[in-house]
Amino acid sequence: MYFNQLFGVSAIKMRKLGVFNGNVKSDNKMFVDPKLLVDADDEFLGAHGDIIRHFSAVVELIKKVKTESSNDPYFAAAVRAMQFKETPNTGLGCSAMGKDGNGIGRILATRIVKQAILVLPHVDFQPEVLEMIGVFTEGLGCDRISDMIVAILKARFVKYTARITSELQIQKTVKVQFQGKTYVFPQVAKGESPILLVPRSILKPLPVAADIEQALDNADLNQQVRQAANKMFADARERGSVTPGANEMRSFILTRPNIYREIFEGYKRAQVVPYDFDVDPRRISDYDPIAEELVGKPTLDLQGLDQAARVERCLSETLSHFKHSIEENRLSDVLYNDDGKPRNELIAQRLIFSIGKIFGKLCDVDVTRESNAGPGPVDFRFSVGEKARLIIETKLSTHERLKDGYYEQLPTYAKAEKINRMVLVIIRVSEDDKHLAALCKAVKQKSLPIDVILIDAVRKPSASKRKSAA
């Protein structure tokens, strides 16, 4: 179950608003990446500066520390500044809504400050190093860093959550007092923790080993250290591990203080790449709840249908629901960027696949993604057994190879797989139909056994604007 289903709101609207729609029955394993906050907007405009100001104050305290003891007022103050209460539930890394995020208590905060005292002199006391202090500190993964960032920026998350709660018209809510003001938050049930909503644009999947491996990869290590690092990884593979353990990699770093700067500079240099929720390699995106929203709770009468007929019924229901949603219910809006440019056809492919899975279950049809028989991949297939099978490819009408490549790809693939039924779904995203016309002409001239299904996703003005224009 996803957030939108738990609260009875639109998954499509959540996607348009850019809100993370977490699965409340699985571990989403996402974290707030401080580097992604550099270019954040709306309530998070300037948020990275808030983080640096907080860490800068900690660094100034650390500079004055004389002994690593609670008797040292500056050490004690630095520890207090790195302690954070549990954050309200964000649904990023827990398996069910209603569970608060982890806080950072005195023991872990002390460990962080002690490690910062070791590292900071090697990086000219630059406060940004505290963003990646998990690389140097045992027990501090990216999930804890994320909770720390949420705590520092809590005022911004509060305002964001209140706005989105209002825009989604969430009904299950609770009033929350924060800094003398009242805000309305989502709440699953009375007594449960309120939920902080998070923009998708600042999230990334949790890395393995607190991103220590990536920190080593990004660092400009000298030849001797690089060789030692390569040996560590080679030894791990000989032991049957993909990578060394987090503690082994951290020990490798901490016993070589001369590479602290190289690791930190590599972190600063590394390109900020948001998680691609369209490609969605971790399978955490919201295509399934969007599909369920579009389809509802369908029932089908399949009495008397053989295997081939069930496959055709599954295909027909899938494409008709998708086509209606695109052409009549403005689902086409999710196929475009904010600047009006069409997005990758992967979105259409994933939505068709998610709808297909729903009808595949009803029709007892296997819907499989991205099979590959050698000549090239297709998007997915619908099949029952070895004989009742068809393959589908989805492309935008603006695709330059629509005529020169893809109308030949399907027959080649189908021949290799011994499949006779081929469907090419074309999403029309432009008034310029030259590629589409060339394809249709080529298919007709070659008498190719391809069904071309056109879905018109060209953006149209709203009904009110069309009426006023008339």
Q: Judging by beta carbons within 10 Å of its beta carbon (0-12, 13-18, 19+), is residue 165 exposed, middle or buried?
A: buried
Q: What is the mean pLDDT of residues 372-391?
A: 72
Instruction: Quickly state the pLDDT bin for 20 (edges 50, 70, 90).
Output: very high
Are 230 and 135 in a shared domain?
yes
pLDDT of amino acid 93: 55
pTM listed for this prediction: 0.85
Q: Tell me whether residue 112 is in a domain.
A: yes
pLDDT digits (tens, 9 = 90+) for 156-189: 999 999 999 999 999 999 999 999 999 999 998 8
91 vs 130: which has the higher pLDDT: 130
Are 264 and 295 in a shared domain?
no
Instruction: Quickly state the pLDDT bin for 408 (edges 50, 70, 90).
Output: low
CATH of the domain at 362: 3.40.91
Residues 469 and 244: their CA atoms lie apart, in Å, by 65
Are 319 and 432 in a shared domain?
yes
Coil, strand or helix: which one is 166?
helix
Are 132 and 81 in a shared domain?
yes
Coil, strand or helix: which one is 61?
helix
Are 162 and 264 in a shared domain?
yes
Q: What is the mean pLDDT of residues 116-120?
A: 95
The domain tally of the chain equals 2
Q: Tell me whether residue 234 is in a domain.
A: yes
Which domain does 215 fall in, by range?
Answer: 3-269
pLDDT of amino acid 407: 62
pLDDT of amino acid 446: 66
Are 341 and 217 in a shared domain?
no
pLDDT of amino acid 23: 82
Are 64 and 167 in a shared domain?
yes
Q: Which of 402, 400, 382 is nearest to 390 (CA)?
A: 382
Are 292 and 427 in a shared domain?
yes
Last residue of some domain: 242, 269, 296?
269
Residues 288 and 281: their CA atoms lie apart, in Å, by 15
Instruction: Quickly state the pLDDT bin for 99 (edges 50, 70, 90).
Output: low
pLDDT digits (tens, 9 = 90+) for 314-331: 999 999 999 999 998 778
Are 297 and 264 in a shared domain?
no
- On average, the pLDDT of the chain sits at 86
